[in-house]
Chain A
Amino acid sequence: MDVNRREFLATVAAAQGAFVLGFWMPQKADAQTVPGAVWYEDPATPEINAWIVIAPDDIVTIRIAQTELGQGVWTSNAMMVCEELQCDWTKVRPQYASANRDAREKAPAWTLNVMGRGATDPTGGGEPGFGNRDRRGVSGIPDSLYRRMRTNAASSVKDGRYYLQLAGAEARERLLLAAAQLWNVPVAGLTAKNSVITHASSGRTTTYGQIARRAAETPHPHPESITIKPPDQWTLMGTEQKNLDVPLKVTGKTMYAIDVRVPGMKWAAVKACPVYGGDVRRYDFEAIRALPGVRSAVQFPIPDPALCRGRVFSGGVAVIADTWYQARKALDRMPIEWDIPPELAGVTTAGMHQELVAALDRPGNVRVNQGDVEAGFAHAARIVEATYSTPYLARARMEPGNATVLVTSDRVDIWIGDQSPQETRFSAAKITGIPEENVHLHMCHLGGGFGRNGNGPQAEQAIMIANANRGVPIHMLWTREEDFVGTTYRAMGVARLKAGLDADGWPIALDVRTSMQEGGFGPDASFDIISRYHVPSYRYSFHTTKFHVPVGTRRGVGQAAHEFYRESFIDELARAAGKDPYLYRRELLVRGNLPYKSDMIKALDLAAEMSGWGTPLPKGKARAIGLEERGAEGNGMATISAMVHTVSLSPEGKLRLERVDVAHDTGFGLVNPLSVKKQIEGQITWFYNDAMHQATTIRDGHVVENNFNTFPLSRINEDPPEINIRFFATGHWLIGMGHDRATSVQSAIGDAIFQITGNRFRDLPYGRHDLSWR
């Protein structure tokens, strides 16, 4: 055993104060000298409830159950607690909630019932997305202490808001009760503001820090009676707050999982079979045994698909060495022979694409069939038909996959940036046989998420490698190339849309067929069950094929592809009808009867107005508009926006997104509008990148583009020089902001290219086409 375990665990315990970011920080004293450090913990200070600890110096530690990956959850979720707690925002320090404690404790009863009447009740809790109880935490574990610890589907604000506000309110009420008991006065005579409690009639005051210990021992007699503030009473929520983690991110002091160092730690470099479903046939460790720093090699099998939501990744081999660079160099020189399933050895994206297209003509799964589509086509003055294609896409977050794992006889410690710690906890228990209650996750900020984690097999590989080296902390780190193997992809997709137009150019029948591989994200092909644009007869069917490439939740999920298909086709219909694409969309929304149609119309109108829609542009420039919505078919939560994209295209074919005008729904209220703006800005370039450059292809069964030289990332020279964002209020709670905004970049660039060149390209990315014009 390379580590004296007792000494190590004792060190861990002593350094708890430095564990707030979930990282190992050997010298706490040094860290404390960092101004604005967003960590604080004193194990001797009792908590008020599972989310809130208030120290004698008034510092408030707020425990966040979701992972900070750039979306600002550490700030927004802390704001929700602070709003109700009425504490001094400058004294708030976020901390990761313990996934281990979540395995041991149930949620307090007063947090279990969502108050109010759902998505359209401003005084209520909205519609949290908890599913049924699920041990893997795929949908969250509704009655575990921290419920849904998964960070995905832009849901952290939506799902956390009501109980985080409640947690703040419950703590505030108990602080007030404690002060009332101390002073022997009625609680009704006390007020709480900015971490100070005041008894108005006597003028007595106390601070939260002074009363916290008493409050911790003062239960609330009727916690179920506590209510939360509606948006019209918010004072902190709804204001632009800078993200609390930014100061450490500009000094290089934020510790990501890759920065974790624990005593006695060894490094592992990994190669998994590049063809999914493949495994290691043999490898020759003897060939590298004598290289500097090399310790051992570990073969690991294909991770149990039951731990990876059914996805089949690959078996592989890890080399363990004193430093990662030594491990990697040795691994590169180690002979490895792969066992590749013969039926996969010849798979190419071209062949897969043909299969997807062929599937469109087979009977599919008809999701909706309204009116009589065939009769509509028979009566149409004109038929418009188009087939669109979207490629496989990797997420390519900046921090390569890694985790540090220490397995001992009765305990697992994992240092990781992870979007789904409950699932990782489950995986660790299954792989090691050590119960979930003894699995400890030390959460780190993620160097980008984009759906990357929680889809496997980063944690599973690291746990398997460490489990074979019990007693030694192993830091597994993937190369960039390996990061492109150990990931799920957004599924490649094809859609054929066919519309019959009447003599005035309005659609009377619409047939939508999408084709995607089984398990491709959506649901399966993720098109609208109810047409957003009015059409009397509407049929939508999806068609699935089985492929071996693991697919999963990439930023934008199915929404990104389907809004590309839908909005591109609406542009084509408007052009075929000789009508303005903005007014064409608007009229079709007006004719429809969707619950949030007025919000969608408002979004279009505002974006068009902001952009100067209709004013002349010089040759080589064009504007295009797109509607983005999620949830517009129902009267539940929704997120609605419209964007106008102004594009320039040189005769040589050099394209630039010059300006984006964004009209965005705030629902009843945004928690942190600054974070929302940053999310919108980021997603504009994310989808620009998708539209112009990125595609993953498969050759000989494996992914071809496995680094940034072949899977390009847009740089600052492609960021739009002008982004204008305006918000408008609507009468429902928002679904979320993190992943399916700015999808309209894709269709808008296509329509702008069409306006300028006369060429319509229906397969992404556009950058593969010759865009030049004369």
Chain B
Amino acid sequence: MAFDLTVNGTLHTVDADPQTPLLWVIRDHVGLTGTKFSCGIGQCGACTLHVDGRAIRSCSVPASMAIGKPVATIEGVSPDGTHPIQIAWKEFDTPQCGYCQSGMIMSALALLRQRPAPSDADIDAQVTNACRCSTYHRVRQAIHLAADLMKARA
């Protein structure tokens, strides 16, 4: 069955079962592979993207929930890595293997939009993505720098 999704501002008509998890529709039908599959049960957050501005673990929600709502993925943050959060991430050389980092960035971005100057406690509470390389030390510093850069740019 075909349905429409608006992803990173572009309208896609998708021919898939709308009960398919949003993650797989984004990866296999829309064709954006920056959003990752890891646990499949909403635990790790590698599949985090935004629906209507909220961070969602896309492996565990049906694509139908995103119909009529804007979906944003890592590819929509900026195509060239110039968004302040990406600049901050690069400044601290944050990723290691990088597999979780799309989801990590999308979680952090949702937090920053909600709380432009997050405390460490805010970060602990809201950026609950798992990183097996444990890049957390740099993720935290990068979030604080991104907050400063976003404030300066605003």
Is residue A576 within 8 Å, beta carbon to beta carbon, of the partner chain?
no
Please name the 4 residue pairs, one residue from A and one from B, whose CB atoms are nearest each other, closest first. A252-B34, A447-B99, A70-B96, A70-B97
Given contacts A399-B36, A681-B138, A719-B140, contact A707 B98 (CB under 8 A): no
| Neighbour of B133 across the interface among A34, A70, A479, CB < 8 A | A70
Query: Which residue of chain A has its CB nearest to the CB of B78?
Result: A251
Given contacts A447-B97, A707-B43, A716-B123, contact A251 B75 (CB under 8 A): yes
| Neighbour of A247 across the interface among B44, B81, B139, CB < 8 A | B81
Bitwise, B29-61 to A at CB < 8 A (1) or not (0) is: 000111111111101101000000000000000
Q: B130–A449 contact, CB under 8 A?
A: no
Q: A323–B36 contact, CB under 8 A?
A: no
Given contacts A684-B134, A716-B127, contact A251 B97 (CB under 8 A): no
Q: A35–B80 contact, CB under 8 A?
A: yes
| Neighbour of A246 across the interface among B73, B94, B124, CB < 8 A | B94
Main secondary structure of the interface of A (DSSP, over half): loop
Is residue A400 within 8 Å, beta carbon to beta carbon, of the partner chain?
yes
Give Cα A418–Cα B129 distance, bound, in whole angstroms.
25
List, in ascending order, chain B residues with CB within 8 A of A245's CB: 95, 98
Is residue A715 within 8 Å, beta carbon to beta carbon, of the partner chain?
yes
Query: Which residue of chain A has its CB nearest to the CB of B143?
Result: A716
Give Cα A70–Cα B133 distance, bound, in whole angstroms.
7
Is residue A678 within 8 Å, beta carbon to beta carbon, of the partner chain?
yes
Q: B90–A480 contact, CB under 8 A?
A: no
Q: A252–B75 contact, CB under 8 A?
A: yes
Q: B81–A36 contact, CB under 8 A?
A: yes
Is residue B9 within 8 Å, beta carbon to beta carbon, of the partner chain?
no
Interface of chain B residues 117 through 142 with chain A (CB within 8 A): 120, 123-125, 127-140
Bitwise, B94-118 to A at CB < 8 A (1) or not (0) is: 1111111110010000000000000
Give Cα A735–Cα B141 distance, bound, in whole angstroms.
30
Given contacts A250-B81, A252-B75, A398-B130, contact A243 B93 (CB under 8 A): yes
Size class of the B contact interface (CB-based, 8 Å): 35 or more
Q: B99–A256 contact, CB under 8 A?
A: yes
List, in ascending order, chain B residues with CB within 8 A of A71's CB: 96
Give Cα A245–Cα B139 distance, bound, in whole angstroms.
17
A-B contact list, 19 entries, CB within 8 Å: A70-B95, A243-B95, A246-B93, A246-B98, A249-B95, A249-B98, A251-B34, A253-B34, A258-B33, A398-B130, A400-B37, A400-B38, A480-B39, A678-B96, A681-B135, A685-B137, A707-B40, A708-B44, A719-B134
Q: A448–B97 contact, CB under 8 A?
A: yes
Interface centre among B90, B99, B139, by most A CB within 10 Å?
A: B99
Is residue B64 within 8 Å, beta carbon to beta carbon, of the partner chain?
no
Give Cα A71–Cα B36 distance, bound, in whole angstroms.
20
Known: A71-B96, A258-B37, A398-B38. 15 other contacts (CB 8 A): A70-B97, A245-B95, A246-B95, A251-B77, A251-B78, A251-B86, A252-B73, A255-B33, A447-B38, A447-B98, A448-B99, A681-B134, A689-B134, A708-B43, A719-B136
Interface of chain B residues 5 through 23 with chain A (CB within 8 A): 16-17, 20-21
Q: B80–A34 contact, CB under 8 A?
A: yes
List, in ascending order, chain A residues with CB within 8 A of B71's CB: none
Shortest beta-carbon distance from B96 to chain A in Å: 3
Interface residue count for A (Cβ, 8 Å)?
A: 63
Give Cα A295–Cα B148 distance, bound, in whole angstroms.
52
Give Cα A674–Cα B140 distance, bound, in whole angstroms.
17
Query: Which residue of chain A has its CB nearest to the CB of B16?
Result: A323
Q: A682–B135 contact, CB under 8 A?
A: yes
Shortest beta-carbon distance from A265 to chain B in Å: 11
Is residue A388 within 8 Å, beta carbon to beta carbon, of the partner chain?
no
Give Cα A445–Cα B36 distance, bound, in whole angstroms.
14
Query: Which residue of chain A has its CB nearest to the CB of B86?
Result: A250
Q: B81–A258 contact, CB under 8 A?
A: no
Q: A250–B96 contact, CB under 8 A?
A: no
Is residue A230 within 8 Å, beta carbon to beta carbon, of the partner chain?
no
Q: A707–B41 contact, CB under 8 A?
A: yes
Q: B36–A251 contact, CB under 8 A?
A: no
Is residue A658 within 8 Å, beta carbon to beta carbon, of the partner chain?
no
Query: Which residue of chain B has its CB nearest to the CB of A687?
Result: B134
Q: B90–A250 contact, CB under 8 A?
A: yes
Give Cα A36–Cα B87 distance, bound, in whole angstroms.
13
Residues of chain A having any CB pair with chain B under 8 Å: 34-36, 69-72, 242-243, 245-256, 258-259, 261, 292, 323-325, 396-400, 445-450, 477, 479-480, 674, 678, 681-686, 689, 707-709, 713-717, 719-721, 723
Q: B134–A35 contact, CB under 8 A?
A: no
Query: Which residue of chain B has its CB nearest to the CB of A718?
Result: B136
| Neighbour of A399 across the interface among B99, B105, B124, CB < 8 A | B99
List, in ascending order, chain A residues with CB within 8 A of B96's CB: 70-72, 678, 682
Q: B40–A447 contact, CB under 8 A?
A: no
Shortest beta-carbon distance from A57 to chain B in Å: 20
Give Cα A557–Cα B87 distance, bound, in whole angstroms.
36
| Neighbour of A259 across the interface among B33, B97, B100, B125, CB < 8 A | B33
List, in ascending order, chain A residues with CB within 8 A of B28's CB: 323-325
Shortest beta-carbon distance from A678 to chain B in Å: 6
List, in ascending order, chain A residues with CB within 8 A of B81's CB: 35-36, 247, 250-251
Given contacts A251-B81, A400-B38, A707-B41, contact A674 B75 (CB under 8 A): no
Q: B105–A713 contact, CB under 8 A?
A: no
Query: Which residue of chain B has its CB nearest to the CB of A660?
Result: B137
Give Cα A686–Cα B133 distance, bound, in whole angstroms.
7
Give Cα A400–Cα B39 distance, bound, in whole angstroms.
8
Shortest beta-carbon distance from A252 to chain B in Å: 2
Query: Which residue of chain B has its CB nearest to the CB of A23?
Result: B33
Give Cα A249–Cα B142 distance, bound, in whole angstroms.
14
| Neighbour of B93 across the interface among A323, A678, A682, CB < 8 A | A678
Is residue B145 within 8 Å, beta carbon to beta carbon, of the partner chain?
no
Query: Which residue of chain A has its CB nearest to the CB of B128?
Result: A715
Is residue B74 within 8 Å, beta carbon to beta carbon, of the partner chain?
yes
Give Cα A721–Cα B133 distance, bound, in whole angstroms.
17
Query: Which residue of chain B has its CB nearest to the CB of A259?
Result: B33
Q: A714–B134 contact, CB under 8 A?
A: yes
Give Cα A689–Cα B136 distance, bound, in whole angstroms.
13
